[in-house]
Amino acid sequence: MHFRKHAPSGALIASLLAAPQLASAFYLPGVAPTSYKPNDLVPLYVNTIRPVAVHDAFLHSVVSYDYYQPLFQFCQPEGGPKSVGESLGSILFGDRIKTSPFELKMKQNETCKVTCPVTYHKGAALWLNQQIKNGLSINWLVDGFPAGQVYNTGNPGFLLGGEVNGEVVFNNHYDIFIEYHTPSASKDEHRVVGVLVQPESKKYSGEVKSDTCLQQSIPPLVLSETGDTEVTFTYSVYWISSPTAWATRWDKYLHVIDPKIHWFSLINSAVIVVFLVLTVMSVLIRALKKDIARYNRLDQINLDDLSGTSALEDGVQEDSGWKLVHGDVFRTPSHPLLLSVFLGNGAQLFVMTGFTIAFALLGFLSPSNRGSLGTIMVFLYTVLGFVGGYASARIYKSMQGEKWKLNIILTPLLVPSIVFSTFFLLDLFLWAKESSGAVPFTTMLVIILIWFVISVPLSFAGSWLGFRAPAIEAPVRTNQIPRQIPPATTYLRPIPSMLLVGILPFGAIFVELYFIMSSIWFSRIYYMFGFLFLCYGLMIMTCAAATILLVYFLLCAENYNWQWRAFLAAGTSAGYIFLNALVYWVSKLSLSGFAGSVLYIGYSLLISFLFFILTGSIGFFSSWWFVRKIYSSIKID
Q: Which residues bind ligand NAG (CB under 6 A)?
A: 107, 109, 238-240
Residue nearest to ligand NAG (CB): 109
Answer whether 324's CB lies under 8 Å from 479's CB: no
Question: What interhelical angle do 336-361 and 385-398 show, nearest 10?
Answer: 150
Nearer to ligand NAG, 44 or 538 (CB): 44
Smallest distance from the beta carbon of 511 to ligand NAG, in angstroms? 41
How far, rounded to the nearest angstrom, does the alpha carbon of residue 418 sit from its chain's CA centroid? 18
H/E stretch holding 146: strand 145-146
Smallest distance from the beta carbon of 109 to ligand NAG, in angstroms? 4
Smallest distance from the beta carbon of 142 to ligand NAG, in angstroms? 16
Answer whether 477's CB lies under 8 Å from 547's CB: no
Nearest to 213 by CA among 197, 198, 235: 235
Distance CA 445, CA 430 (A): 17
Nearer to ligand NAG, 240 or 287 (CB): 240
Smallest distance from the beta carbon of 172 to ligand NAG, in angstroms? 21
Q: What is the dihedral of CA 34, 37, 41, 42, to 10 degrees?
A: 40
Nearer to ligand NAG, 107 or 326 (CB): 107
Smallest distance from the beta carbon of 53 to ligand NAG, in angstroms? 30
Nearer to ligand NAG, 76 or 111 (CB): 111
Contacts of 304 (CB under 8 A, 6+ apart): none
Smallest distance from the beta carbon of 150 to ligand NAG, in angstroms? 13
Smallest distance from the beta carbon of 79 to ligand NAG, in angstroms? 30
Nearer to ligand NAG, 235 or 460 (CB): 235
Distance CA 394, CA 23 (A): 39
Distance CA 574, CA 612 (A): 5
Give per-residue burial for 487-496: e unless 16+ CB within 10 Å, then b: ebeeebeeee
H/E stretch holding 148: strand 148-149
Smallest distance from the beta carbon of 207 to ligand NAG, in angstroms? 24
Distances (CA, A) of 600 to 12, 59, 131, 347, 377: 39, 12, 18, 27, 21
Answer whether 298's CB lies under 8 Å from 318's CB: yes
Nearer to ligand NAG, 238 or 355 (CB): 238
Tell me the HSE value of 299 on the side-chain side, using a 13 A CA sphere. 12
Answer whether 61's CB lies under 8 Å from 154's CB: no
Nearer to ligand NAG, 240 or 583 (CB): 240
Smallest distance from the beta carbon of 183 to ligand NAG, in angstroms? 18
Nearer to ligand NAG, 107 or 173 (CB): 107
Nearer to ligand NAG, 107 or 394 (CB): 107
Smallest distance from the beta carbon of 107 to ligand NAG, in angstroms? 5
Nearer to ligand NAG, 200 or 291 (CB): 200
Smallest distance from the beta carbon of 238 to ligand NAG, in angstroms? 4
Nearer to ligand NAG, 109 or 186 (CB): 109
Q: What is the dihedral of CA 75, 77, 81, 84, to 10 degrees?
A: -120
Contacts 24+ apart (CB under 8 A), 292-295: 292/630, 292/633, 292/634, 294/318, 295/319, 295/323, 295/634, 295/635
Question: Nearest-5° angle of CA 519, CA 130, CA 423?
Answer: 45
Contacts 24+ apart (CB under 8 A), 511-518: 511/262, 511/265, 511/266, 511/269, 511/535, 512/266, 513/577, 513/580, 515/257, 515/262, 517/580, 517/581, 517/584, 518/588
Smallest distance from the beta carbon of 77 to ligand NAG, in angstroms? 24
Q: Please list the alpha-helical segments (H only) found in 242-335.
A: 251-254, 259-304, 309-318
Nearer to ligand NAG, 47 or 234 (CB): 234
Contacts of 462 (CB under 8 A, 6+ apart): 385, 386, 387, 388, 389, 390, 391, 392, 393
Distance CA 348, CA 225 (A): 53
Nearer to ligand NAG, 239 or 295 (CB): 239
Nearer to ligand NAG, 196 or 231 (CB): 196
Smallest distance from the beta carbon of 237 to ligand NAG, in angstroms? 8
Distance CA 468, CA 518 (A): 46
Pairing of strands 173-181, 161-164: unpaired
Smallest distance from the beta carbon of 173 to ligand NAG, in angstroms? 16
